[in-house]
Amino acid sequence: MFYEQRMSVPDSPAALRNEYDRDLAAVVEERGVDAVADETDVDRDQLETLAEGDSPALTLEEAARIQSLAEGEPDADTIETMATEHLLLGMSTAVLDVDAVESRLAIEMDAKEIQQKIERRAPMSFEEFVHVQYVIADGAP
C-alpha cells in the first residue's frame, strides 16, 4: 500500500506509480466504478481510467479515499496522514532534507513546495507523492 513505509523501490517513479495504480484499480474492480464514485466523490472518468490500467490525475487525498474502501484499511484521513508521516520518517532515515529531495526529483517542485505538501499545508497530487516517496526510499541506506 502506498501509505506504508518504503525502504526500497522499483527502478523508476513510473514503475512505483504503476504498482500503486494496480492496487487502487483492484479496489475499483472489486467495488465497482459507480460505488467507488459514490463513496469517494472521485470523478468517475478517473476511476474508469484507473480500472483500464492507466494513471489518472489523482490527488493524494483521492488515492487515500479509494484505498480506504479496501477491506481492513483505515479511513482516508488516516491513510493520508500515515503516507505523509512516512515521508518525513523516510527523510530522517535517509538523512535527506527538502533541498536534497528537490535536487533528486524528476519533476519540478521546489523545496518550499515539498515541505508544505509533506506537512499537508498544501495539496499534493498522487504523482508528486510517488515522486517524493521514490526519491526518499531510493536514498535510504
Backbone angles phi, psi at 72, to 5 degrees: 80, 5
* pTM attached to this predicted model: 0.94
Q: What is the pLDDT of residue 121?
A: 96
Q: CA–CA separation, 24 vs 42, rounded Å?
A: 12
Q: What is the pLDDT of residue 70?
A: 96
Q: CA–CA separation, 51 vs 48, rounded Å?
A: 5
pLDDT per residue as tens digits for the range 45-99: 999 999 999 999 999 999 999 999 999 999 999 999 999 999 999 999 999 999 9
Q: What is the pLDDT of residue 1?
A: 87
Question: With bands split at pLDDT 50, 70 and 90, how would you rate the model's confidence at 140?
Answer: confident
Whether residue 7 has pLDDT greater than 90:
no
